[in-house]
């Protein structure tokens, strides 16, 4: 085992943060990612630590090109998130964030499925406190639903791993493939955390309910661990191409009509993961590189967008598009930083999204999926529409909401500044990122055709937005809830449960009523014959007795003669 | 104290942004005539493919989403009320 495996450093820091006073805690939190990342970079390029527990051969720590890249990415994400949340006095959030980051490191460096399962569940248990930390009834409900779904994912993973162990006698986490019960269960487990269509609703339910700073951590780790796990276990699984294509398209419709701007970003997150899932499904070197590079960029630009919205929420206490607007007047720096994030997610040339998403797009066409490509192109225009334009427009421009506030605290601005610098830095100089990717990159991002095509797509999408807005066709931001898959478990299932209980209660009542009636009649009958006034209890006159004896004797006489 | 006028408080500046956008559209669409994009798929070779696709995609997206509202939209406290 290396001396400082990242997860252990972060777990220790979480323990220390639970007792340290404010300033030492802040220093510790800033130092941990730096020290831990330096330690990671010192490790050899390939490292596998094995140990045996009883008869079980485990590999709790593995470094290779893929896990190293995610390790570096998570250090950057953790550092930005920590800087962004430094001002908060809420100790719970600091402890939860450190433990959550530690679990993400544990999961990506796990060399076997059992270790992966342990950290998979730790991710759920530690991150849920970032949702609870909002301390509202809504966040409590959303957090509980989040936890239940995440734990189910973990249970599926464990079940799948045990089936694979039974078949092969090994728990190593290598390529799994969508075969057999074990592979299918693990695929589903990864799919839940990756927000596959129909399994996605925990994300859009819970992330917008977390604290302004908590959402930044949430958007960095859970889904990206799942993308990593898919890339390792299911690269080249064709089903992923179609699953990913659906993921890129359906959330953008919800994003257009959603009012809560952090929920808009949550939907757009599924859309971005869709691009990665398509790349992993194609499985070629270019596609995998594109998917991984896009995961890397997404953590940073989605983090930047989440931070800019977190800053707005922190300063104004509002997050609905219908209540915001005109904030560029009092938050010009935040506005500019948000626009950098918006340009990056929209894949403007010279911003980070462009250098990674285009790799996936080219790979899709080269592998002969023209219709999937058209879907992704539709989603690319759509993401610019809802994340690139809608987010900055409704928060910072649109109609003036009359809100006058100030720029957020310095630490928030610095965190956003770091993320924005990385967005532009990677966008201009992508080879730094390309050098870290699992396969050698033979791809030129800046070629005239790509750049022109992308600019045309974006400029005309912007024109469509402007036209719809000026013509008054664009749907207004409204206070609303939009029904999604969660309706099944938040409405239909409780309603059925309630109905079942009511009906069975009524049936039981009716049955007991009927039973009572029956019993009463029976008692009346008994009383009629055997009660104190009953037929058999009456005092009969002696004469009638003599008469009956005579009748009996006569009858026996008649019978005797017959 | 009167508040300072900001850049988009004047309608003229909003108009300028829109004009710039139209100009950008014309320029990029025009570039398709002079610049020959190399393509992987025949779709891409059509003149102005990306421009038209981007515009149509966004309009279709918004119109469909508007229709979806009729089916999916509920009150903000929909889930907070009793089932």
In the 8-state DSSP scheme, what is residue A259?
-
> How far does the CA of residue B2 sit from the closest CA of chain A (Å)?
14
- Tally the domains of chain B: 1
Contact check, Cβ <8 Å, A468/B62: yes
Give the C-alpha separation, A243 to A227, whole Å.
13
The 3-state DSSP class for residue A482 equals strand
Give the C-alpha separation, A113 to A106, whole Å.
12
- Identify whether residues A100 and A177 lie together within a single domain: yes
Which residue in B48, B9, B35 sits closest to A448, CA to CA?
Answer: B35
- Identify whether residues A9 and A103 lie together within a single domain: yes
Mark which residues 403-432 of A lie under 8 Å from B by CB. none
Residues in B closer than 8 angstroms to A365, CB to CB, are 40-41
Q: Is position B40 within any domain?
A: yes
**Of the residues A213, A234, A255, the one at which a domain ends:** A234
Give the C-alpha separation, A234 to A176, whole Å.
6
> How far does the CA of residue A425 sit from the closest CA of chain B (Å)?
25
Q: Using CB atoms within 10 A of its CB, is residue A400 exposed (0-12), middle (13-18) or buried (19+)?
A: middle
Query: What confidence tier does B2 reach under pLDDT thresholds 50, 70, 90?
Result: low
Query: What confidence tier does A1 reach under pLDDT thresholds 50, 70, 90?
Result: low
- The predicted model gives A246-256 an average pLDDT of 95
pLDDT tens across A463-508, in order? 999 999 999 999 888 888 898 989 999 989 999 999 999 999 999 9
- Identify whether residues A455 and A387 lie together within a single domain: yes
Contact check, Cβ <8 Å, B54/A460: yes
Give the C-alpha separation, A304 to A337, whole Å.
8
- Identify whether residues A69 and A150 lie together within a single domain: yes
User: Which of A140-144, A352-356, A404-408, B34-38 is predicted least confidently?
Assistant: B34-38
- Identify whether residues A328 and A375 lie together within a single domain: yes
Give the C-alpha separation, A148 to A66, whole Å.
30
Residue A527 predicted with pLDDT over 90 = no
**Of the residues A234, A257, A285, the one at which a domain ends:** A234
- Tally the domains of chain A: 2
CA angle A247, A249, A255 (to 5 degrees): 100
| Average pLDDT of every residue of chain A | 94
Which helix (DSSP H) or strand (DSSP E) does residue A48 occupy? strand A47-53
Query: What confidence tier does A45 reach under pLDDT thresholds 50, 70, 90?
Result: confident
Of A457, A474, A494, the CB nearest to B62: A474
Q: Is position A170 within any domain?
A: yes
The 3-state DSSP class for residue B5 equals coil
- Identify whether residues A219 and A286 lie together within a single domain: no
Q: Is position A537 within any domain?
A: no
pLDDT tens across A342-380, in order? 999 999 999 999 999 999 999 999 999 999 999 999 999
For A448, which residue in chain B has the nearest alpha carbon?
Answer: B37
For B6, which residue in chain A has the nearest alpha carbon?
Answer: A329
Q: Is position A13 within any domain?
A: yes
Instruction: Using alpha carbons, list the distances in angstroms from residue A162 to A148, A153, A168, A227.
Output: 21, 14, 10, 22
> How far does the CA of residue A474 sit from the closest CA of chain B (Å)?
7
Residues in B closer than 8 angstroms to A362, CB to CB, are 40
- Identify whether residues A176 and A281 lie together within a single domain: no
Residue span of the structural domain in which B48 resides: 7-72
- Identify whether residues A97 and A217 lie together within a single domain: yes
| ipTM of this predicted structure | 0.93
Tokens of A324: 């915001």
- The predicted model gives A385-413 an average pLDDT of 92
Strands A481-482 and B73-74: antiparallel
Q: Which residues lie across from A49 on neighbouring strands?
A: A61
Q: Using CB atoms within 10 A of its CB, is residue A87 exposed (0-12), middle (13-18) or buried (19+)?
A: middle
Mark which residues 1-20 of B lie under 8 Å from A by CB. 6, 8-9, 18
Q: Is position A524 within any domain?
A: no
CA angle A431, A436, A438 (to 5 degrees): 120
Residue span of the structural domain in which A80 resides: 1-234
Q: Is position B50 within any domain?
A: yes
Q: Is position A558 within any domain?
A: no
Contact check, Cβ <8 Å, A253/B64: yes
- Identify whether residues A244 and A227 lie together within a single domain: no
Say if residues A413 and A339 touch (Cβ distance below 8 Å). Answer: no
Query: Cα–chain-centroid distance for residue A242?
Result: 20
- Identify whether residues A260 and A295 lie together within a single domain: yes
């Amino acid at each position: 085992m290396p001396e400082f495996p990242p997860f252990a450093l972060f777990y220790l820091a979480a323990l220390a943060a639970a007792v340290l006073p404010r300033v030492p805690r802040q220093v510790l939190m800033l130092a941990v990612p730096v020290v831990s990342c330096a330690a990671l970079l010192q490790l050899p390029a390939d490292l596998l630590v094995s140990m045996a527990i009883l008869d079980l051969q485990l590999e709790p720590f593995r470094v290779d090109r893929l896990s190293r890249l995610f390790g570096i990415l998570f250090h950057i994400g953790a550092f930005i998130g920590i800087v962004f949340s430094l001002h908060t006095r809420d100790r719970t959030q600091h402890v939860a964030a450190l433990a959550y980051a530690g679990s993400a490191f544990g999961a990506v460096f796990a060399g076997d499925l059992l270790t992966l399962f342990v950290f998979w569940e730790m991710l759920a248990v530690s991150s849920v406190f970032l949702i609870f930390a909002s301390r509202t009834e809504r966040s409590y409900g959303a957090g509980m639903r989040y936890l239940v779904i995440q734990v189910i994912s973990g249970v599926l993973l464990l079940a799948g791993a045990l089936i694979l162990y039974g078949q092969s006698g090994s728990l190593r986490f290598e390529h799994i493939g969508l075969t057999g019960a074990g592979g299918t269960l693990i695929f589903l487990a990864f799919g839940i955390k990756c927000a596959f269509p129909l399994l996605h609703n925990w994300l859009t339910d819970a992330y917008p309910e977390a604290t302004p700073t908590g959402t930044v951590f949430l958007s960095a780790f859970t889904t990206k661990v799942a993308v990593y796990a898919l890339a390792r276990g299911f690269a080249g699984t064709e089903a992923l191409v179609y699953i990913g294509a659906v993921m890129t398209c359906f959330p953008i419709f919800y994003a257009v009509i959603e009012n809560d701007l952090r929920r808009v970003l949550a939907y757009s997150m599924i859309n971005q993961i869709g691009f990665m899932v398509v790349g992993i499904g194609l499985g070629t070197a270019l596609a995998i590189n594109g998917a991984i590079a896009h995961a890397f960029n997404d953590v940073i630009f989605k983090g930047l967008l989440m931070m800019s919205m977190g800053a707005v929420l922190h300063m104004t206490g509002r997050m609905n598009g219908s209540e915001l607007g005109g904030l560029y007047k009092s938050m010009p720096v935040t506005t500019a930083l948000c626009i950098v994030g918006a340009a990056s997610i929209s894949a403007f040339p010279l911003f980070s999204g462009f250098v990674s998403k285009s790799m996936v797009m080219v790979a899709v066409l080269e592998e002969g999926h023209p219709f999937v490509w058209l879907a992704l192109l539709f989603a690319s225009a759509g993401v610019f529409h809802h994340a690139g334009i809608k987010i900055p427009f409704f928060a910072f421009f649109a109609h003036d909401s009359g809100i006058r506030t100030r720029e957020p605290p310095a630490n928030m601005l610095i965190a956003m500044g770091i993320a924005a610098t990385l967005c532009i830095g990677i966008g201009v100089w992508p080879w730094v990122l390309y050098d870290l990717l699992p396969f050698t990159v033979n791809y030129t991002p800046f070629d005239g055709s790509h750049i022109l095509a992308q600019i045309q797509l974006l400029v005309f999408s912007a024109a469509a937005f402007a036209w719809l807005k000026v013509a008054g066709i664009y749907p207004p931001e409204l206070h609303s809830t939009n029904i999604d898959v969660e309706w099944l478990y938040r409405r239909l299932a409780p309603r059925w449960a309630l109905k079942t209980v009511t009906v069975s209660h009524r049936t039981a009542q009716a049955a007991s009523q009927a039973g009572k009636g029956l019993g009463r009649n029976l008692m009346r009958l008994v009383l009629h014959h055997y009660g104190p006034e009953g037929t058999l209890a009456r005092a009969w006159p002696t004469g009638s007795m003599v008469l009956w004896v005579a009748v009996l004797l006569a009858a026996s006489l008649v019978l005797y003669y017959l | 104290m009167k508040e300072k006028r900001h850049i988009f408080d004047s309608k003229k500046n909003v108009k300028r942004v829109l004009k710039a956008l139209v100009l950008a559209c014309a320029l990029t669409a025009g570039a398709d005539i002079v610049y020959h994009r190399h393509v992987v798929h025949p779709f891409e070779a059509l003149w102005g493919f990306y421009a038209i696709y981007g515009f149509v995609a966004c309009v279709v997206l918004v119109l469909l989403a508007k229709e979806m509202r009729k089916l999916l939209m509920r009150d903000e406290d929909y889930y907070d009320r009793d089932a």
